[in-house]
Amino acid sequence: MKTIALVGCGRISERHLKVIEQIPNLKLVAVCDVQVDRVNKVSTEWKVPAFTDALTMVKATKPDIVSILTDSGSHPEVGIELAPHVPVVVVEKPMSLTLEKADQLIETCERCGTKLFVVKQNRFNPPIQALKKAVDAGRFGKMVLGTVRIRWARHQAYYDQDPWRGTWKSDGGVFTNQASHHIDLLQWLMGPVESVKSYVATRLAAIEAEDTGVAVLKFHSGALGVVEATTATRPKDLEGSISILGEKASVVIGGFSVNRPVTWNFQESEPADEEINKLITDPPNVYGFGHLPFYLDVLDCLESGRNSMLAGLEGRKSLEIINALYESAFTGREVFLHYVPQSVPLGRDFERKSL
């Protein structure tokens, strides 16, 4: 039996709490939030102690795992503070807004011997798992084009829930928040990115950061990629999809949370291809069903000693791409990875300008 405590009782905590409840060998022992009313409500509902200070909570309850679900901008600071006191840190996406803070978090966990896991639950979607297996088996041959499309609806009420939402210092826009999962999938399936060129705009939401962005990616393999992302879809979520095209195959995983195989065409078929439609899932919201297998994977890594596919350095890869996207958008230049950010507003106070 492993024990777990949560830092942050906002929107995403509901998903974590329900998943933890489903795992027999994982026990919730405490929750923490700086908002007293919010943490007391969760504490009462789940019958665990409430804290308003994360370090106090960890020292008092000594959990095996602490999950950081606070605003995006505070993820690394909370992780760095807690790493010396817990065996395992789980951090929701993004692990940080800046590469500097991400590196500090990774280094701190390594120095303390603390395991670090970054939540990228869509990697566990059954159709995505099947797609990754096909890629790793070489069934696509030479890669040609990878595309992700995030067409979601986030109305003003979503951003007004918390003052940090949509700010550069503490959140970022659609690239950082909603599209981070899909950008992660794109690099996971297509390989390392060489350069990016992007544009951003704020069209419907009254926020500092962008609600709409497009980008072109060049991969080291020579393949190209496209990212199309918006939270200005109206009136409701439309899709969250990925397409992978190669010389021997074309695959599209659609739905509104990369959960539904739309196209599964291979030059050389295999018996398992006939079963692909059995992998369709229809989650009730864009979070999907991936948090459960994510936590099960964390527990298995701890028990078996194997390395996770979502350790800190792996979680950093999509963050570097996202920073490059903003660097390109704000300078008008093609940006090559690896680079030192100069014009990225993420994680900083920012005087609003039109995008």
Chain segment 307-342, per-residue pLDDT in tens = 888 888 899 999 999 999 999 999 999 999 976 667
CA–CA gap between residue 188 and residue 128 (Å, rounded): 11
Residues 10 and 90 reside in one and the same domain? yes
Residue 63 tokens read as 């959990």
Asked if 293 and 155 touch (Cβ cutoff 8 Å), the reply is: no
Residues 198 and 332 reside in one and the same domain? yes
Residues 116 and 188 reside in one and the same domain? no
Mean pLDDT (whole number) for 68-86 = 96
**In a domain? residue 352:** no
CA 151 to chain CA centroid, Å, is 16
- How many CA atoms, within 13 angstroms, populate the side-chain half-sphere of residue 315? 28
In this prediction, residue 348 carries a pLDDT of 77
Task: Give percent above pLDDT 90 in the chain.
Answer: 86
The full DSSP string for 143-179 is: EEEEEEEEE-B--HHHHTTSTTTT-TTTT--TTTTTT
Residues 162 and 109 reside in one and the same domain? no
Q: What is the span of the domain harbouring residue 278?
A: 124-286+316-336
pLDDT band for position 354 (cuts 50, 70, 90): very low
What's the CATH code of the domain at 115?
3.40.50.720
Residue 86 has pLDDT above 80, yes or no: yes
Residues 272 and 296 reside in one and the same domain? no
**In a domain? residue 303:** yes
Q: Give the least confident one: 34-38, 201-205, 344-348.
A: 344-348
The strands making up 26-32's β-sheet, listed across from edge to edge, are 50-51, 26-32, 2-7, 65-68, 88-91, 115-118
Q: 3-class SS at 92?
A: coil
Residues 104 and 178 reside in one and the same domain? no
Residue 353 has pLDDT above 60, yes or no: no
Would the pTM of this model clear 0.85, i.e. be above it? yes
Task: Give percent above pLDDT 70 in the chain.
Answer: 95
In this prediction, residue 284 carries a pLDDT of 63
Residue 192 has pLDDT above 70, yes or no: yes
Residues 183 and 321 reside in one and the same domain? yes
In this structure, is the dihedral angle defined by the CA atoms of residues 340, 346, 348 and 353, taken in order, positive or negative?
positive
How close are the terminal C-alpha atoms of the chain, in Å? 50
Total number of domains in the chain: 2
**In a domain? residue 353:** no
Give the β-pairing of 26-32 and 2-7: parallel
Judged by phi (left if over 0) then psi (alpha if -120 to 50, else beta), residue 164 lies in alpha
For the chain, what is the radius of gyration of the CA atoms? 20
Mean pLDDT (whole number) for 27-54 = 97
CA-wise closest residue to 6 among 89, 74, 102: 89
Beta bridge partners of 227: 148, 215
Residue 285 has pLDDT above 70, yes or no: no
**In a domain? residue 342:** no
In this prediction, residue 63 carries a pLDDT of 98
Residue 160 has pLDDT above 70, yes or no: yes
Beta bridge partners of 51: 32
CA-wise closest residue to 290 among 16, 39, 84: 16
Residues 197 and 178 reside in one and the same domain? yes
**In a domain? residue 348:** no
Residues 92 and 132 reside in one and the same domain? no
pLDDT, the chain, mean: 93
Longest dimension (CA), the chain: 58
Residues 117 and 266 reside in one and the same domain? no
Residues 108-139: tens digit of each pLDDT:
999 999 999 999 999 999 999 999 999 999 99
In this prediction, residue 283 carries a pLDDT of 64
Give the β-pairing of 65-68 and 2-7: parallel
Mean pLDDT (whole number) for 228-243 = 97
Residues 320 and 331 reside in one and the same domain? yes
DSSP alpha helix (H) spans, 98-141: 99-112, 126-136
**In a domain? residue 198:** yes
**In a domain? residue 224:** yes
Residues 55 and 156 reside in one and the same domain? no
Beta bridge partners of 7: 32, 68
What's the CATH code of the domain at 327?
3.30.360.10
